Amino acid sequence: MADSDKTRTTASERWYEQRTFAALPREAAARFGDREALVFGDERFTHVELAASIDEAARGFMALGVERGQHVALWLNNRTEWLVASWALARIGAVQVLINTRLRTRDVSYVLNQSDATMLVTHDVSGPVDYLGMVREVMTLPDSGTEVHDAGFPCLRRVVIVGAEAPGTSNWQDLRAASAQVDEAALEARARAVQTTDPVFIMYTSGTTGRPKGAVHTHQLIRNVEERGFRMAMTTNDTILNYLPLFHAFGYSEGALMSMLMGSRQVLTEIFDPDECLDLIERERVTVMHGFEAHMKGLTEAQERRSRNLASLRTGIFAAGMLSAVPVARRGARVLAPLKAISGFGMTEVWLGAALCSIDDDETHRTETSGYPALGYEVRIVDAETGLPCAPYEPGELQVRGYSLMRGYYKKPDETAAAYTDDGWFKTGDTAHWCEDGYMRFMGRYKDMLKIGGENVDPTEVEELLLERDEVHQVAVVGLPDERLSEVAVAYVQATPGTNLTEATVIGFCRGQVASFKVPRHVVFVDEFPMTASGKIRKVDLREQAKRDLLAGPAVQ
């Protein structure tokens, strides 16, 4: 490398060492000005207008007492306030705790406690879901005033509601009004104090212990997303359709972050509705969209039912590589043309695009592999028992190393240590193999993790919940292939003698306690389980039994 190249590289490193989420809204306003930044329903914002809304909310959070480094939980569906709150908290050096909106009382109570959240921002009611009702179910809100004092949540001091005013809470409009109490100089001082290595958010993901684990990420993700933006040839001329949930790494990274960094317009929807999405592609001239196999399938079928003009579509990341996804990806390539979808591999802990195809790759690579290692990542596939590298086409555990990896699981040092090898490689728990040309292919979970509609689901969490019931003697939850969601959960239950359990009863134990996608689709009662010599349930046998007995059978609705 020439000396001049070394100088440029060093300068580039220094540049990224200084960049934080706190500066990005103002930076985008300066770079992209009056270009449209966000479309949500009837709401439209330029980059300048969005930055102004973010600053107003940032001053409001400061006025309500949010300090640098404090944790603020966002339990919101996709909407403008989600984006504004997220960036506002980043501006003032607070740490966002991103909560899946499909979680229910049991999960949310645990996350709020474990994350040390000092504030919760949520809905009153959104669609059919009474979020405020669930908040009141798990904690006591004050009869007067807005300061929370519940012994079960020692860190939590305030609940902010996006929606109608409610006793014992603050309202989003109150937060906006409070912004007048903090001047611009105070906000700028807070923003300047933010460091690249500071935590910026905690994103909860199910793990092998059965309890959600909070992956801590820092501002260093800016480089990861921007490098992927260049790899995908993202520009200010792109319009990103973002129907993915913002609390999920995929939607957060490829919608919220990518738009802010590259100046691309983001068209946000509250939920994924294939017909609405296709209408938006045609009307807003969408060029980029992302998703999982289920999204590709839904969009393809909706386009076949009623054709729209999709000529503006350019590219997007759709998780592929697994055998079940290949027919869906190839069909989508025909029906959603000229979309050139690319595949890749990522997860909350290692972030997006640890491996990624190129938009110039042929269809076989884009639909049948998971790409090749991206900038900033080292990827290896090893025998999980011996640690030895696997030969091409030999399946092994996928392991990743690089600057974009999480700092660790919040307040879980043992789980964090167990997730890494002695030489610093993150053990994904997934199976993959190398192809001879250096591309890799994701094959599925190395462990027993389920993948339901793009969400990682740890079966032991549901097992633990069901085992709390006296009527359940033993239970094992496994995955069953599903055409729409990739997998659904099946609960094999051994009932306590003398009880009268039914499938509906077991389903009822789960509903309202865990996220809807974790609730078993089927319940099968057994007298005994297939066991290993060491006394463990042989889940591999149960998975095969489920395929034989249930694939053609009716499902619980």
| Per-residue model confidence as pLDDT tens digits over 254-299 | 999 999 999 999 999 999 999 999 999 999 999 999 998 889 989 9
| pLDDT < 50 stretches in the chain | 1-7, 207-209, 533-534, 555-557
Kindly report the backbone phi and psi dihedral angles of residue 151, in degrees, each rounded to the nearest multiple of 5, phi listed first: -60, -25
What pLDDT score was predicted for residue 493?
96
d(CA 291, CA 371): 16
What pLDDT score was predicted for residue 325?
75
451 neighbors 518 (Cβ within 8 angstroms): no
Residues 6 or more apart in contact with residue 289 via CB below 8 angstroms: 240, 241, 242, 243, 277, 281, 313, 316, 339
What pLDDT score was predicted for residue 250?
93
What pLDDT score was predicted for residue 536?
64
Q: How far is the CA of 141 from the CAs of 64, 147, 159, in angstroms?
A: 17, 8, 9
What pLDDT score was predicted for residue 373?
93
> pLDDT of 342-363, one tens digit each?
999 999 999 988 999 999 999 9
Single pTM value for the model: 0.86
What pLDDT score was predicted for residue 1?
38
> pLDDT of 372-381, one tens digit each?
999 889 999 9
d(CA 169, CA 180): 20
d(CA 45, CA 32): 12
d(CA 278, CA 78): 18
Q: Give the HSE-up count for residue 292: Cα atoms under 13 Å, Cβ half-sphere.
A: 23
Question: Could you tell me the two tokens for 544?
Answer: 């095969």
d(CA 223, CA 313): 26
